[in-house]
Amino acid sequence: MPIDKNFKSVHEKKWEINFSQCAPNGALNYTDLCNLLQLTAAEHADLGGISFTDMQEFNQAWVLSRMRLEIDSLPKWRDSITVKTWIVSLENSRSIRVLEVYNDEKKIISSETFWVVINTKIRRPEFLALPHEHFEEFPDQFATKQRVKKIHMPKESKIVGTHRVVFSDLDVVNHVNNVKYLEWCLDFVEPKILLNQTFKSIDMNFLNELLIENEVEILCNKNDNTTIFSVMKADKNCFSLAFTL
């Protein structure tokens, strides 16, 4: 796909929050927040000629490796928000992209994301095959106070649940969609914590892909302000989540 005439290196997308995206308190669900951020990033890639469709000509796709969210507040039903995104770095098989969410011109959410190009046939990282020099990089313009990081799972973690991957968990790359991991873990968080919108930050590491019918255990460790989850398949960590209150 050629570069769209409306392409800009800093992309903005307006969204209106609808009721299907909201929790019982009327605020945007954390999972739907992550969906909106990824959809905005995908639209930017589409306009710039490095979309999933473009990359599939070379059997390639972007996959999310790490994500951090810093949250001041969540938008509510009927709010109109603006998501801004740009690329901090894009080199070889890796890219760092940041996103900001604005409500009435006030920044309420910041995010940093780390992406990797994989070959969808051999399921291994490889250099991006498409030209991308037209994407201006902003190496000093970060959105979050802290960078994306590796999450270390404490040894004292306990199994809180299990899950078998079903068809509705899968995405276009034929593996479990990023947001599903978050959804599985949040199902084991006390509802009052979710309803009170007490998350200050969320970190996620996507470590190993899961496929249909894979069976996993969900582990959890809590301390005063931080809760850490891990999704394990046969003693291999596939996903880690950490949130602070």
With both helix axes pointing from N to C terminus, report the angle between 178-186 and 30-47 in degrees, rounded to the nearest 10: 170
Which amino acid is residue 32, in one-letter code?
A: D
Mean local confidence (pLDDT), 117-122: 92
State how beta strands 226-233 and 215-222 pair.
antiparallel
Task: Label residue 1 by pLDDT band (50, 70, 90).
Answer: low
Task: Note whether 90 and 137 are within 8 A (CB).
Answer: yes
Question: What is the percentage of the chain residues whose pLDDT exceeds 70?
Answer: 100
| Sequence-separated contacts (24+) of 4-10 with Cβ below 8 Å | 4/46, 4/47, 4/48, 4/49, 6/47, 7/47, 7/48, 7/49, 7/134, 8/47, 9/86, 9/87, 9/134, 9/135, 9/136, 9/138, 10/84, 10/85, 10/86, 10/138
Tokens found for residue 136: 């201006």
What domains appear along the chain, each with residue ranges and CATH number?
Answer: 1-144 (3.10.129.10), 150-245 (3.10.129.10)
In 134-184, beta strands by DSSP E: 158-164
**What local confidence, expressed as pLDDT, does residue 142 receive?**
96
| Closest alpha carbon to 3 in 131, 108, 112, 136 | 131
In three-state secondary structure terms, 15 is strand
Q: Cα–Cα distance between 85 and 41 in angstroms, integer? A: 7
pLDDT at 38 over 70: yes
Q: Write the pLDDT tens digit of every residue in 88-101.
A: 999 999 999 999 99
Q: Write the pLDDT tens digit of every residue in 123-149.
A: 899 999 999 999 999 999 999 999 999
Task: Label residue 117 by pLDDT band (50, 70, 90).
Answer: very high
**What local confidence, expressed as pLDDT, does residue 243 receive?**
94
**What local confidence, expressed as pLDDT, does residue 198 receive?**
78
pLDDT at 196 over 90: no
Mean pLDDT of the chain: 94
Q: Cα–Cα distance between 178 and 63 in angstroms, integer? A: 9
Q: Write the pLDDT tens digit of every residue in 49-95.
A: 998 999 999 999 999 999 999 999 999 999 999 999 999 999 999 99
